Amino acid sequence: MIRSPLTITLLGLALAACSPTDPQTTVSGALADGVLLPSHTVWKEADVALATSAKAFCAGEEDLPTARQAFLTAQSAWASLQPLAVGPLTEGNRAWQVQFWPDKKNLVARQVQALINSKPALTAADLEKSSVVVQGLTAYEYLMFDPDINLQDATQKSRYCPLLVAIGEHQQALASTVVAQWQGETGALNQFKLFPNDRYAEAGEAISDLLRTQVSALDGLKKKLGAPLGRQSKGAPQPYQAEAWRSQASLANLGAALSGAEQLWHGANKDGIQALLDSDQDALKQRIDAAYADARQKLAGLKQPLSDLLADDAGRQALNTFYDSLNVLHRLHEGELARALGIQLGFNAHDGD
């Protein structure tokens, strides 16, 4: 019997529909739908709210505590997204446009003041041409929380508001662009669901990229805690090297990022990376679960701001204990989990994007 091209196509689709789905494709797609896109969308919504807040505050329609809370919400959304920062967010220097850290030489304060001195009537176009140092949340935090800036004073508010509004608009535009690039037939969402595509030849490459991002983010958490703890400076605390020392949100940001990492591990419905481990790897799965629980417990026990904890021996001991729990979590992902999944972490195909 001679079959028409249409019949052959339909038969192929039917056979594909009946074929068992590769576990890596299933997990990659589940994470894209249940974790990656939702987290990017939350980040975008927080930045939309931040832009609205900046304009309302500068128009006298919102008080400073409310404006500060809008910033803290946007900062937390960004922190939770960092372990999930794959796809469009890795391109075009975008992460640096959101947050400039570490800031070892107080570049944020110096460049913000230099920019405002040179552009008193700064516009969004001026900011677009400026350094990433002044475009992101770190500069926004400086304006909102630095002890030398008093936004309750009308003169200072008038001086700094053009930059506040411009940063809010920049963050909203950046997040909206990234989320838009997750949509559509060739968008990032489908790149984690349909293989091969322009980004990944197969699902295993997508899973590898996710794990590399996860491992890098967990290592980043150690650095964000280790820097103020002085683990790279012979044990001398460096409180001004904390990620968010001005807003005293450093530990909250670590918690948000830890939560983002755990989402990637568990998935929205226990369909995350953990689902790729076979039953004979249950012991590893339990150890990683326990490591996340231990890190969360250690963090929950830190009741004071980071700067206060750094100021006494007991506080530093508690911070070091939390650091050790993050180290265990990082090593489990970098070592045993990567080996169990057959993933080489030494090379990232998207380095330099």
Q: b/e string for 60-72 if b means 16 or more Cβ within 10 A?
A: eebeeeebbebbb
Q: How confident is the model at residue 353 (pLDDT cuts 50, 70, 90)?
A: very low
Q: Are 331 and 324 within 8 A, CB to CB?
A: no
Q: How confident is the model at residue 277 (pLDDT cuts 50, 70, 90)?
A: very high
- Per-residue DSSP letter, 207: H
Q: Are 222 and 326 within 8 A, CB to CB?
A: yes
Q: What is the mean pLDDT of residues 312-317?
A: 96
Q: Are 95 and 168 within 8 A, CB to CB?
A: no
3-class state of residue 305 by DSSP:
coil
Q: What is the mean pLDDT of residues 287-292?
A: 98
Higher pLDDT, 349 or 86: 86
Q: What is the mean pLDDT of residues 73-80?
A: 98
Q: How far apart are CA 350 and CA 15, in angstroms?
A: 34
Residue 51's H or E segment, with its range, is: helix 37-58
Q: How confident is the model at residue 101 (pLDDT cuts 50, 70, 90)?
A: very high
Residues sharing a CB contact under 8 Å with residue 19, sequence separation 6 or more, in sequence order: none
pLDDT of 10 over the 50 cut: no
Q: How far apart are CA 148 and CA 303, in angstroms?
A: 27
Q: How far apart are CA 141 and CA 164, in angstroms?
A: 10
Measured over all CA atoms, what is the biggest interatomic distance in the chain, rounded to whole angstroms? 86
pLDDT of 350 over the 60 cut: no
Say what the pLDDT of residue 318 is.
98
Q: What is the mean pLDDT of residues 84-93?
A: 94
pLDDT of 13 over the 90 cut: no
CA 51 to chain centre: 19
Q: How confident is the model at residue 20 (pLDDT cuts 50, 70, 90)?
A: low
Q: What values do phi and psi take at 100, rounded to 5?
A: -110, 105
Average of per-residue pLDDT values in the chain: 92
Cβ atoms < 10 Å from Cβ of 352: 7
What pLDDT digit, counting tens, does each position of 135-146 carry?
999 999 999 999
Q: How confident is the model at residue 346 (pLDDT cuts 50, 70, 90)?
A: confident
Say what the pLDDT of residue 348 is.
40
Q: For residue 106, give the nearest of 77, 148, 65 by alpha carbon.
A: 148
Q: How confident is the model at residue 33 (pLDDT cuts 50, 70, 90)?
A: very high
Q: How far apart are CA 22 and CA 30, in angstroms?
A: 12
Is the CATH number of domain 22-191 1.20.1420.20? yes
Q: How far apart are CA 89 and CA 8, in angstroms?
A: 40
Q: How many CA atoms lie within 13 A of 133 on its CB side?
A: 15
Q: Where are the domains of the chain?
A: 22-191, 203-341
Q: What is the dihedral of CA 320, 326, 332, 333, to 10 degrees?
A: -150
Q: How confident is the model at residue 281 (pLDDT cuts 50, 70, 90)?
A: very high
pLDDT of 91 over the 50 cut: yes
What pLDDT digit, counting tens, does each position of 236-252 carry?
899 999 999 999 999 99
